[in-house]
Amino acid sequence: MKCGSRFGILTAYHAIESFNFTPNSTDQLGIATAEYPHALLIEMQYLNPHYIEFRSPDKYGGPDMVFLEILDQSKLFWIKENKSFWDIPSEHGVSTIKECYSNSDSLWAIAGLPQSAKQEEQPEGGFDCVIGLPVQVYFSGIEGGFEAGGFDYIELKANYESKDPMADSFVGVSGGGLWRTPMSIDRKDLKALKFGEPVLSGLQFLQTPLEGNSRRLRCHGYKSVNLLFTTVLKNG
């Protein structure tokens, strides 16, 4: 993500809370930026975590989000050479991701790396161990939305009766983006759907227990993400 002049990673807070960010830390964060074997490691001391202070999680498991600002310019250059950063919209120091909770004019998706999809592959490229982390994208509709403690929550349904492949568990997907793709009908051809550019609208951080053949994937919505990035902008 790009927020003002800062570049970094938006993810769930619980995914990084056990790491040591002090100057003497030996912890490193690994990032996959290409489809060939590589090792991009960033020392924790070169990551600045931005999050909203809270005493303890609420009964819904939140707030659970953090923006890891990348301070290592050489690693940042490498990422920019291979990937693009989503630019957070803002006006006058306030994050302005737009409101949307609609299923009627939007297609919703969560993108992430479920642990169950991790693959150990044959050594190559000078590496003794190669791990494949295929990105999975899950499409669904909003099942519910609510607010608590100033934060908003959106829940999508993971239906295991669907013919589409579904991860047994969404462990590892936490911190994955919640994306909204606008849809519209072409008036000249009422059978033709038009899709707009995907828009970041939140992030997933929790899966509910399996009930029957489905579970819910809980996400922070646009209001929560706006709160976080407005905090980042004010700190910068």
Q: What is the 3-state secondary structure (H, E, C) of the chain?
A: CEECCEEEEEECHHHCCCCCCCCCCCCEEEECCCCCCCCEEEEHHHEEEECCCCCCCCCCCCCCCEEEEECCHHHHHHHHHHCCCCECCEECCEECCCCCCCCCCEEEEEEECCHHHCEEECCCCCCCCEEECCCEEEEECEEEEEEECCEEEEEEEEECCCCCCCCCCCCCCCCCEEEEEEEEEECCEEEEEEECCCEEEEEEEEECCCECCEEEEEEECHHHHHHHHHHHHHHC
pTM for the full predicted model: 0.89
The pLDDT assigned to 190 comes to 60
The pLDDT assigned to 88 comes to 95
Per-residue pLDDT of the chain (236 residues; tens, 9 = 90+): 999 999 999 999 999 989 998 888 999 998 888 888 888 999 999 999 999 877 667 788 889 999 999 999 999 999 998 899 999 999 999 999 988 777 878 889 999 989 888 888 888 888 888 888 888 899 888 998 899 888 999 999 998 887 777 888 899 999 999 999 888 877 666 677 788 889 999 999 999 999 989 999 999 999 999 999 999 998 86
Contacts with 26 (C-beta within 8 Å, 6 or more apart), sequence order: 20, 43
Catalogue all structural domains in the chain, each as residue range(s) with its CATH number: 2-95+228-235 (no CATH), 106-224 (2.40.10)
The pLDDT assigned to 91 comes to 93
